[in-house]
Amino acid sequence: MSEPVSLKSLGRMVAKKRGKVGIRATARAIGLSPATLSRVENGQLPDLANFRKLCEWLEIDPAAVLGFDPENRDRPIAAVHFRSRQTMREETAVALQDLILAAQKMLAEEAESD
């Protein structure tokens, strides 16, 4: 069974597809530096431009990696990313999530009433 597509699994997916091909050759094929490719395979997240290149190379939809529901692509979406290194308590992250979702709901209601 294959691993679900997510930001956490991105590096493992890249390493799996690269297989025994050298990191320099693979980086060149993707359009990244070998150092960037190595960082991604080691679990660091790429910037948006490199994320797009990686998704194209992996032949996956960036929206799927980010957890967006394809049926709701036209809705206004508020999204936030927390780095993999823990810098806040879970309760704080949940409170921020709730705040963002409430703001998103209010913006959607305003857009519908216009």
Mean local confidence (pLDDT), 84-92: 67
Helix or strand or coil: residue 30? Answer: helix
Question: Tokens 């091909």 map to which residue?
Answer: 21
Q: Which residues contact 28 (CB under 8 A, 6 or more apart)?
A: none
| First and final C-alpha spacing in the chain | 46
Q: What does the alpha-carbon distance between residue 30 and residue 3 come to, in Å, rounded to a whole number?
A: 22
State the pLDDT confidence band at 108, using cuts at 50, 70 and 90: confident
State the pLDDT confidence band at 4, using cuts at 50, 70 and 90: confident
Mean local confidence (pLDDT), 86-96: 73
Q: Is a pLDDT exceeding 90 seen at residue 102?
A: no
Map out the domains of the chain with their CATH numbers. Answer: 10-66 (1.10.260.40), 75-113 (no CATH)
State the pLDDT confidence band at 79, using cuts at 50, 70 and 90: low
Residue spans of beta strands (DSSP E) within 55-108:
none
Model pTM score: 0.59
State the pLDDT confidence band at 98, using cuts at 50, 70 and 90: confident
